[in-house]
Amino acid sequence: MRQNRVVDLRLIKLLPCLVTVALGAQAGEFVVLSNGFRIHADSHAADGPLIRLQTSQGVIEIQAASVAQFEQEEYTAPALTPATVAPVAAPAISIALTPQELVTRAALHAGLPPAIVRSIARAESGYREDAVSPKGAIGLMQLMPKTALDLQADPRDPEQNAEAGARYLRDLLLKYENDPHQVSKAVAAYNAGPAAVDKYHGVPPYPETIQYVNRVLKQYVKEQGKQKAPASN
């Protein structure tokens, strides 16, 4: 009987997204990891072998040995101008984003390539905001209630669901950042949990998880192809 196999990741390289979102009125910094990954942080503090990063999404802990350098973000203070009476602005029109747009924006906020986050969302829920799995996972990124609680997100709110799911995937990628199978392990952990991946030192031998990882990675390759297509025309 033919066994399911995980797609070979030697041909797939997860490129860090260098798009960052400026948050706050003060300059922060960029933490450059040895693998080229860049994380925007407000500040950092050393604690033995760990570096704690204070970000807009909370505190992230990474191994100090994985940090190549810190780059200070340039900040230009706004020029002071005399107070003027502002004209009455027209009421803001709220434009609802599609599920795909919510996921893409969440990926950029998390500093991840949108292609990998969209591939997860497609496999998890098919972009259905009201999706609920038999095990109780909720929404676009199929967050379990406890995971959503840990990420301080309401899983039934599509925007919070997408943002929390992208942050969770980022945390998993950082967990396996020095592993040659970083992406497959992170994707498997999103499906089966980090404990299962650590127990088997790789993708767990669960048929559901093996199929899930293959499906996500194949979709990731397609998403990358879509991004490159316009440039080749």
Cβ neighbours of 28 (radius 10 Å): 21
Q: What does the block give as tokens for 124?
A: 């998890």
The structure tokens 């810190």 sit at 70
Q: φ, ψ for residue 63 (rounded to 5)? A: -70, 130
Q: Cα(165)–Cα(151) distance, rounded to whole angstroms?
A: 9
| Catalytic residue check, 124 | yes
Q: Cα(170)–Cα(89) distance, rounded to whole angstroms?
A: 38
Contacts of 19 (CB under 8 A, 6+ apart): 108, 111
Q: Which of 61, 73, 74, 124 is catalytic?
A: 124
Contacts of 64 (CB under 8 A, 6+ apart): 46, 48, 49, 50, 51
- Residue 124's alpha-carbon distances to 13, 22, 127, 130, 162, in angstroms, are 22, 30, 8, 12, 12
Cβ neighbours of 21 (radius 10 Å): 11
Catalytic residues: 124
